[in-house]
Amino acid sequence: MSSIVQVSKIVGVSRATVARAFASPEQVKPETREKIYQAAKTLGFRPNYAARQLRTQSSKMLGVMLPTLNNPIFSGQLEAMEKMARENGYSLLVATTEYDPQAELEILENMLRQRVDGLILTVANAQQSDCLNKIKEEAIPTVLTHNPIQNTDFISINIDNYAAMYDATQRLIEYGHCHIAMLTGPFFQSDRSALRYQGYADAMTAAGLIAMPVVEMHSHTQVHIDTLLPLLKQNVTALLCSNDLLALSSIGNLQRLGYLVPEQISVVGFDGISLGKTLYPALSSVAQPRELLGWLSVKTLLQMISGQPVTSQTLCTQFNLEESMSNAPQHTSIDKDLS
């Protein structure tokens, strides 16, 4: 016997009244409402959201799919999203993909079966994604984060990766750097990498400098010394990293090799994680507004769910000029030749 019936019997009302006492309290006389709450408490009754969902066709759940939580940019965004969702009466179903398109598909299917009211996701590659193609056929409110979207098929909250990296590169050039290398994680796993590299490359070219080929790491978070050494031999004076963890790892490795940062080599990251500012040298970085991004993506999704018109938004990044970056060393190549 459904426990709602038990409550109704104890209080001496119909089950409809009990249901109303929880779903729309204002429709029930305060007096009986209190009696119902009291009985519910002693019986340990509590509304069953699955049943409610079945009836109302709304789960009050949002599906969140992110590549990983090991990067503070994602975990911070997730925390902001959860808070915003909860404040609006929504729960979050969370899964990570590790940039694996197969996992993306399976997670999506599961979330659709759960009947989440909407989806917030960052896919590995938005230009070529079975996951997104599948979503298109489903007509479920969806917000992309981080993924650059050319066409108008999806709403996306993101930043201008190209412009941000173009800008960062220009800053380094203004500081006199000519030999600038760019480091990324596994390049083809993420569609952001290419945009950022293009921004770097175009800024170099525009300044009459030569863009170097991308330096690709096996990991999104760790730099190996072996990949750094060749760059140093090429007299690179500045390193642009596609995220802060790579940048910090680079600094650590450089210092361990005896290099001075920024005196001999400048390092610039991407994301603006808070740890970067507190370390020494503090990390120069292209800061992404990750709380805002999380907050806004949930807000946008809720608006879509309620049928309001929404638009994609490109959030501003901010270049944090910190200690890890300085003017290019003079006569670097000469020094090296002498040594």
Q: How far is the CB of 8 from DNA (least distance, A)?
A: 7
Which partner in a second copy, DNA, none is near 45 (CB below 5 to 8 A by kind)? Answer: DNA
Neighbours of 70 (CB within 10 A): 12
Neighbours of 78 (CB within 10 A): 19
> Taking CB under 8 A as the rule, does residue 256 contact a second copy?
yes
| CB closer to DNA, 58 vs 327 | 58
Tell me which of 21, 159, 245, 302 binds a second copy, using CB under 8 A: 245
Q: How far is the CB of 206 from DNA (least distance, A)?
A: 56
Q: How far is the CB of 112 from a second copy (least distance, A)?
A: 6
Distance of CA 138 to CAs 117, 328, 335, Å?
12, 53, 62
Tell me which of 3, 6, 32, 75 binds a second copy, using CB under 8 A: 75
Tell me which of 26, 31, 137, 337 binds a second copy, using CB under 8 A: 137
| CB closer to a second copy, 109 vs 174 | 109
Closest Cα partner for 116 from 51, 49, 64, 52? 64
Q: How far is the CB of 201 from a second copy (least distance, A)?
A: 27
> Taking CB under 8 A as the rule, does residue 218 contact a second copy?
no
Q: How far is the CB of 69 from a second copy (least distance, A)?
A: 4
Pairing of strands 318-320, 284-287: antiparallel
Determine the Cα–Cα distance for residues 323 and 160; give it in Å rounded to an integer: 25
Q: Rounded to a whole number, what is the distance in angstroms from the first to the last CA of the chain?
A: 86
Distance of CA 333 to CAs 169, 178, 337, Å?
21, 11, 6
Determine the Cα–Cα distance for residues 229 and 232; give it in Å rounded to an integer: 5
> Taking CB under 7 A as the rule, does residue 338 contact DNA?
no
Q: How far is the CB of 85 from a second copy (least distance, A)?
A: 9
Which partner in DNA, a second copy, none is near 12 (CB below 5 to 8 A by kind)? Answer: DNA
Which partner in a second copy, DNA, none is near 1 (CB below 5 to 8 A by kind)? Answer: DNA
Count of residues engaged in binding a second copy, rule: CB under 8 A: 56
Contacts of 257 (CB under 8 A, 6+ apart): 225, 228, 229, 232
Per CB under 7 A, which of residues 6..65 are in contact with DNA?
A: 12-17, 19-20, 22-24, 26-29, 31-33, 45-48, 51-52, 54-57
Contacts of 313 (CB under 8 A, 6+ apart): 156, 157, 158, 296, 300
Pairing of strands 180-184, 155-159: unpaired
Are 294 and 79 contacting, i.e. CB atoms less than 8 angstroms apart? Answer: yes
Can you give the three-state secondary structure of 245-302, one letter per residue? HHHHHHHHHHHHCCCCCCCCCEEEEEECCHHHHHCCCCCEEEECCHHHHHHHHHHHHH
| CB closer to a second copy, 192 vs 220 | 220
List residues binding a second copy (CB under 8 A). 44, 46-51, 53-54, 59, 61, 68-70, 72, 75-76, 78-79, 82-83, 86, 91-96, 106-107, 109-115, 137-138, 221-223, 245, 248-249, 251-253, 255-256, 274-275, 278-280, 282
List residues binding DNA (CB under 7 A). 1-5, 12-17, 19-20, 22-24, 26-29, 31-33, 45-48, 51-52, 54-57
